[in-house]
Chain A
Amino acid sequence: MYRQWVLTALIAWPLIAGAGVLLAPTRWAKHLAFVASLIEFGLSVPLWWMFVPEGGVQFMLDAPWIQNWGIHYTVGVDGISLFMVLLTTFLVPLSVLGSYNYITTRERGFYSLLLVLTSGMIGVFVSLDLFLFYVMWELMLIPMYFIIGVWGGERRLYAAIKFFIYTFFGSLLMLAAILVLVHVVGQRTGVYSFAYSHLVSHIGGLGSLAFWLFGAFALAFAIKVPMFPFHTWLPDAHVEAPTAGSVILAGILLKMGTYGFLRFAVPLFPAVALHPAVQQIVVLLALIGIVYGGLVAMVQPDFKKLIAYSSVAHLGFVMLGIWALTLQSVQGALMVMINHGISTGALFFLVGMLYERRHSRLIDAFGGIARVVPMFAAVLTIVSLSSIGLPATNGFVGEFLVLLGVFRSYPLAALIAATGVIIAAMYLLPALQRVIYNPLDKPANEKLPDLSLREIAVLVPLIACILWIGVYPQPILRRIEPASRQFIQTVRLNAAAFAATR
């Protein structure tokens, strides 16, 4: 019962709850949304224990949807998507709780959109039918557009439209590629199906078409990651989005790009992905992301922009890890995806808390506040350290594995990527210093209130994860290892098969 329906329930429940929030009185909105998201989290928790690491795709439900076109409602998770689902259900309640004071207008709309967004995000990670995947991909785009466009900062419309058009442009190309792929595979096998399992096991014989199809998928995902040079929507979207929007955007939405590569672009077109030219381009862009993203982050006057550019750097590690195709690098990439969600999510919460107090995100608006808000300063320090990958925090585990794994495939790239650990210290520590240390010279900062109980409730789970994953990541690594192994095998096998049939 649970095994079969849990994923569907995870998709459906936020939609139902979102409708409920719309209908209920405004002053209940946030509480209802919080309870609903907690229930969602509770629903997902048994996945952690019931998931069998060696069991491949699990919690499957497969039902015909539009049978004439070979479209099914197929959902399931494996070791790659499991933690994306859990990360989503974990971050959403915190985002709701973190928005309690931030969102003061049109609360019902905001919280119901946040819940609809949750459905879309879960849907993206569990869909095993390419049509369903596309629907979910678009489903999550629309609420995010409104969240930025309605509840955002001063330039919210520019940012929202940029975010929307950029992502939509990519996803339309992807839709076209999906249709062509289904058509070509259908012609060859006689079975017209959007099912992932069908497509991934019949990917030979595409010839040069594969390059174009891969290109369309890759572009859609590269925009989402975002990879240099498709990243400029991100700083704008982050700066303008309300706290919850930034947290979800960085925590979950960016992972959809790297998840897309892991699930679709690479396994479906392995020969293209492993083509030397493609490898070189991806590795180069990932390295540019790490070094360039870090250096540009270093000179940002706006704290949110700094974190946005740091995301470009972190996600560069993920892309490197995926492409290196070694077990450590792929596991590391998945760990970085999880860790980035936690640490960067926490950073956005913290900057949001500063903003609520001072209505400024500028680093230089603060200074010396560790004396007035010691608890806030302690948390910001811990989170920053995890973001720069200090050992015994979560950040180290992922980056270390990526570097170890990448070194075997691309030694030089690993060397360059490792400079990212220096650069990370160069952009985050000065910012930390300018916010919490230095003289307390601005009168407006002298009476800042320290963290409230609600804010502590938002941050404690994140810090717990930072330390737990840093010290004992083994339960996660154990669950993602078989799926990572499977991923590498599929890609290598398919690349060989593809080469043979071409």
Chain B
Amino acid sequence: MPAVPLSLIWVVPALPLLGFLVNGTLALARPGAKRAVSIVGVGTLVLAFAAAALAVVEFGAHATAPLVFRYWDWIPAAELQVPFALQLDQLSAVMILIVTGVGALIHVFSVGYMHDDAGYARFFAYLNLFVFFMLTLVLGASFPVMFVGWEGVGLCSYLLIGFWFNEKINADAGKKAFIVNRIGDFGFLIAMLLIFWRVGSLDFAAVFARAPAAFAPAGALITAITLFLFLGCTGKSAQIPLYTWLPDAMQGPTPVSALIHAATMVTAGVYLVARCGVLFALSPIGSATVAGVGALTALFAATIALKQWDIKRVLAYSTVSQLGYMFVGVGTGAYAAGIFHLATHAFFKALLFLGSGSVIHAMHRAYHATHSHDDAQDMRNMGGLARYLPWTWGLMWIATLAIAGIPPFAGFFSKDEILGAAFAEATVRPAWYVFWALGLGAALLTAFYMTRLMLYTFHGPNRTGDREREHLHEAPWSMTGPLVVLGALTVAGGVLNVPPLFGGGALLERWLEPVTGVASRLSPLVEVPHATEWALVVGAVLVAVLGIAGALRLLRPETLVPARLAPPESGFGRILWKKWYVDELYDAVFVRPIVWLSREVLWKIVDVRIVDGLLVDGTAVVTRALGWIGSRLQTGEVGVYVVGFVVGVLVVLVAALR
């Protein structure tokens, strides 16, 4: 077979874009054409995955250096040249495979999940558009092109969170996601300004090649750039302080949560740090901030996950927490470990979300059949579902063991590598001991809250309701099928990067070396003795086992009562359940004061009273008053005029004589 030219890489993003155009047109013109929509929506994704796989194989066989393809001059303005260019290298190769691969599975799942929805065509149009922007994000060869994808995925996230837009809570959540992300995008934008100002280019190749010479290591400029970039990451990848939108984003349909808010979009920040490894390697403060915020977020979000009842919210906080791990990885300079966890997380978290989707689907149908209005996502209404959804139950347990870090599942290897790298770094930079400890603590909580989720959902007595129970059953194979594939990836995904410690070849690490090499040379990873590594591994597994065993021992699913009968939370549990009141805090400190200032001060006082009332209308009043005085002078009485004339003459004479 003749080799396919790699310049056809544009086909990969173009396919979902085509899908969007067709499905978008169908959504407006023929919303009922579900068959055509499914074929286009899923077909373009499967083809895109095939094209991406072909391109990656071809690339792996023939090239090691990044390939940049310029398609047209996008923004040329004097020395600023931003071509619309895509870049295929080892890092973007991994990303496009995850995006199109996991994306295709989730598209297949959606065919079943969204089947009865009136907005079916619109849903697939948005989903296709999302994949297009995500591919632009990871394939863009410059900051501005990446920014197109960066804001584009934010847009799709907004549209899909608020997909059922006639409910205010959904529309609010979408809006919140967009605005919070815009705060992050502001950081991205400022970073671009700074980079262009110093380097004179925004192309990745040029910026990274010139960075070591252009920026003083650990200087203020490079630190500012990395911090602004990371502000962008905290928005997109839901880290402290901008994570608050992600849990609310669960208002979107569950496949959206799986694809956008777990597997792909939210990992864009991790990708950005890995992509800009050279810059972060030059700034110790920048990289420490990344790792520190990541570690803190990992633990913080995990504490909230302990007390959530909505099955998707538990997974949402779990995602925030796992993203924190990835940032610990890339912040430590262990880019391969960060990307590895990104990949395995994409598998097991997509599986968990789709599994929860399958649960919600069953619950929803049961409640629908009996016209009940109970919450289909509240775990207090579930229980004992293993009997009704055996496949989902089994597969979700696999994912739970993976995320908890139990060998040999995928999550064990990737999480272990991150914690190992953090511990090793701590031998040089002691701050990392704290990050490592936070990460280990988060691992304990992760194992605990995931076991809690499984116990409450699938074990113990069923609390759905006597009549509803009969309607609970496994979803069709179009939905369970993707789960099985993801389950296989969750079991075997670890082989991507089995470290030498276990006799593996660290495939992913070696594959990514051409991309991460420069950064690693600037800021080399620290090695620790094998004995220490083994101790760390054993310790981490023990912590995971402790978390699971603790949950099994402490939690009593049989004591739960259905949500509507449940007593309100109290004590410390209430604080966790209320998410440490962070939303309330932001609302009181930022949102309401800004709105109040704008409405009551800037608009009603400054604009209406002062500028318009006092200055503008005031001028009119004064003018009219002057005119009135002038008109009074014109009395028609000759005597007055004569007096005025004489006075005038005298004044002129006096003035002239002086």
The chain A residues found within 8 Å of chain B, CB to CB, are: 162, 165-166, 228-229, 231-233, 292, 295-296, 298-300, 327-328, 331-332, 368, 370-371, 374-375, 378, 385, 390-392, 397, 400-401, 403-404, 407-408, 411, 414-415, 418-419, 421-422, 425-426, 429-430, 433, 436-440, 471-474, 477-478, 481, 485
Contacts and interface: CB of A to CB of B under 8 A. Distances in A.
Contact of B147 (A391, A429, A474, A481): A391
A40 to B, nearest CB: 31
A463 B446 CA distance: 48
A73 to B, nearest CB: 35
Nearest to B158: A429
B587 interface: no
B168 interface: yes
Contact of B165 (A298, A426, A436, A477): A436
B182 interface: yes
Interface in B141-178: 144, 147-148, 150-152, 155, 158, 162, 165-168, 171-172, 174-175, 178
B79 to A, nearest CB: 8
Contacts of A415: 190
Contacts of A471: 74, 84
A438 B80 contact: no
Contacts of B74: 471-474
Interface in B605-629: 606-607, 611-612, 615-616, 620
Interface string B117-158: 000000000000000000000000000100110111001001
30 contacts: A232-B607, A232-B611, A292-B602, A295-B598, A295-B602, A296-B602, A296-B607, A327-B77, A368-B166, A371-B166, A385-B155, A391-B148, A391-B151, A400-B144, A401-B75, A403-B189, A404-B80, A404-B193, A407-B197, A411-B197, A414-B193, A421-B182, A429-B179, A433-B174, A437-B166, A439-B166, A472-B74, A473-B74, A474-B75, A477-B75
Interface string B5-43: 000000000000000000000011000000000000000
Contacts of A162: 616
Contacts of B165: 368, 370-371, 436-438
Nearest to A388: B182
B76 A478 contact: yes
Contact of A439 (B76, B167, B597, B612): B167
Main secondary structure of the interface of B (DSSP, over half): helix
Nearest to A414: B193
A298 B598 contact: yes
Most buried by A among B76, B84, B598: B598
B586 interface: no
Interface in B48-105: 72-78, 80, 84
Interface of B: 27-28, 72-78, 80, 84, 144, 147-148, 150-152, 155, 158, 162, 165-168, 171-172, 174-175, 178-179, 182-183, 185-186, 189-190, 192-194, 196-197, 594-595, 597-599, 602-603, 606-607, 611-612, 615-616, 620
Given A404-B192, A411-B197, 4 more contacts: A401-B75, A404-B80, A414-B193, A429-B179
Contacts of B616: 162, 166, 232-233
Contacts of B196: 404, 407
A422 B182 contact: yes
B598 A429 contact: no
A401 B192 CA distance: 11
B206 to A, nearest CB: 15
B132 to A, nearest CB: 10
A392 B594 contact: no
Nearest to A403: B193
* In the complex, the 10 A-B pairs of residues with the closest C-beta atoms, listed nearest first: A437-B171, A437-B165, A299-B599, A232-B612, A295-B598, A391-B148, A327-B78, A425-B182, A407-B193, A229-B611
Most buried by A among B151, B172, B174: B151
Nearest to B24: A378
A374 B80 contact: no
Contacts of A378: 28
B179 A426 contact: yes
Contacts of B150: 391
A452 to B, nearest CB: 15
Contacts of A477: 75-77
B135 to A, nearest CB: 14
A436 B178 CA distance: 16
B78 A481 contact: yes
Contacts of A419: 186
A202 to B, nearest CB: 30
A231 B152 CA distance: 33
B337 to A, nearest CB: 31
A299 B595 contact: yes
Contacts of B155: 385, 390
Contacts of A430: 175
A295 B594 contact: yes
